[in-house]
Amino acid sequence: MRFVDVRNLLGKAFCDYLLTGEERFRETYLSAEVPEDFEPYKVERVNFYETFIRDYCEFIPADGVEKVVFLGKTLNGLGYYFEAHEVVEKYWLNYREEYRKFLQALIQVAIANMHLEGGNLKGYTHMRELALKNLEPYKGTLFGVDVERLKEELKTAEGFLPIP
């Protein structure tokens, strides 16, 4: 099992729990067996997940776009970029309403941060450009996100991207 497999196993189960509130997903990341080398990573993630659930339990299940955006924005702001992208993406896959491109842009912001975290500047730049393009038709504040400020961040930031 590689690091990416461990990250995906834990993160996807956590995000499934955020979206559904179903205990079987929580049990998946709590009881996941990982190679010894990745045990410290698992402990850190599980501790964070459990604290996050406690602090944001009123948003679980994230059964609407407002809750999903809030959770994605919060996770991104805390530096949990994989989980930020995953929770919004899982919701976005079945979302067919007018803010689909907006949600896709939020996913791309989190992915840009993942690329930066991994030192992939080309991927970071590409995701920023895609996010900016997807935000083009939107203005004002959507679901608690200052769209104009986010567009400016995408144009000028030289580090990790916040979702204002």
Give me the average pLDDT of each 10-residue run along the chain (164 residues).
96 98 98 97 98 98 97 98 98 94 98 96 97 97 97 95 94
pLDDT, residue 116, reads 97
Whole-angstrom distance, CA of residue 150 vs CA of residue 132: 9
Q: Is it true that the peptide bond before 61 is cis, omega within 30 degrees of 0? A: yes
Environment class of 18 (CB within 10 Å of its CB; exposed 0-12, middle 13-18, buried 19+)? buried
Q: What is the pTM of this model?
A: 0.95
Given a contact cutoff of 8 angstroms between Cβ atoms, the answer to whether 90 and 22 are in contact is: no
